[in-house]
Amino acid sequence: MLNQVDVVENAWKAGVMIPGFNVPYLPMMEPIVRAVVDQKSFALISTAQIEWQTLESKGPRQVMDEFQKWDKPDYVRLHIDHIGSIDELTNEPNDYCSIISEAIEMGYPSVMIDGSHEKDIENNIAVTHRIVELAHKKSVRVEAEVGTLFGYEVENMPPYEKIFNERIGFTTEEEVRRMVKETGCDWLSVAAGNFHGAMAGIGRFQEKGEAQLDVDHIGKLNAAAGVPLVLHGGSGIRIDQLRAAFKNGIAKINVAKDLRSRYQKAMKEKNDVAFAQQAVYDRAVWLIKAHYRIAGTSNIVMGTGQ
């Protein structure tokens, strides 16, 4: 079976995108996996610490147990998303090393360490390098992040138009070169206009606003990195720009708000899990087939054909 770095690199080299679908509610797992398999696509199923803290996914063990009920390794793999060196809720130092170590021991094949909230890139590099050394000993792949990806920090944040027009927090080519060279990370999350679904206080049942991407800048980051790039805050970005980004180095895109809001709205409407699961399935199929146009790409990602 191909390891996690191979599948993402296959997608990167082919200009094909892999979605990372977050599962903040355990009943979302089955319809997401079913949608990916039915469309003969490929996805990472992700779980993030902030979801354990604020929603109902409970923790990495519970997510893994649920995933194993539906696991189809030619179509889906598991991933630990957004473990920050700084806790996103408290803004205090996080016990990131213990959390990631436990996930590795459970058998997660890839993890994300986010040191982007450290006071400078030197600290980010130190945090990331520590996790890379730990993970690579177990053949676990590491996603890192550099740049400022707004969203969770909603206080005193500039308007989105100002962020984009003035390139506030955008990842630089030099940052990318340093992160890859000095940490050995396998994938790198970058900022180029994307933002998290919590930006500007977006509520649980509201749609996320539309974002733009500086695709030319992404291409420059890709050339500087030499490893697959990741786009967080994947919901609500103009689709023409997304498709262009896939051809310019983005191999993985994180999708959380889009499917989460469908589940939450359906549960609010009927308080029926099966009804909410169908809403998630329908949306996931639409994303894969119509929006991202990645139906039938599992063979490319798995390296078994075109």
The set of catalytic residues is 81
What distance in Å separates the CA atoms of residue 44 and residue 77, rounded to the nearest whole number?
A: 5
What distance in Å separates the CA atoms of residue 170 and residue 212, rounded to the nearest whole number?
A: 12
**Residue 82: strand, helix, or coil:** strand
- Asked if 67 and 45 touch (Cβ cutoff 8 Å), the reply is yes
- Asked if 224 and 176 touch (Cβ cutoff 8 Å), the reply is yes
Which string of DSSP letters, residue by residue, matches 153-181?
A: --TTPPPHHHHHHTTTTPPPHHHHHHHHH
Structure tokens at 209: 């606003």
Start-to-end C-alpha separation, the chain: 18
What distance in Å separates the CA atoms of residue 132 and residue 120, rounded to the nearest whole number?
A: 19
**Residues forming a β-bridge with 143:** 112, 187
Nearest to 129 by CA among 96, 80, 169: 96
**Alpha carbon 253 to its chain's center:** 5
What distance in Å separates the CA atoms of residue 267 and residue 91, rounded to the nearest whole number?
A: 31
**Exposed, middle or buried: residue 92 (CB in 10 Å: 0-12, 13-18, 19+)?**
exposed
The identity of residue 122, as a single letter, is E
What distance in Å separates the CA atoms of residue 62 and residue 275, rounded to the nearest whole number?
A: 22
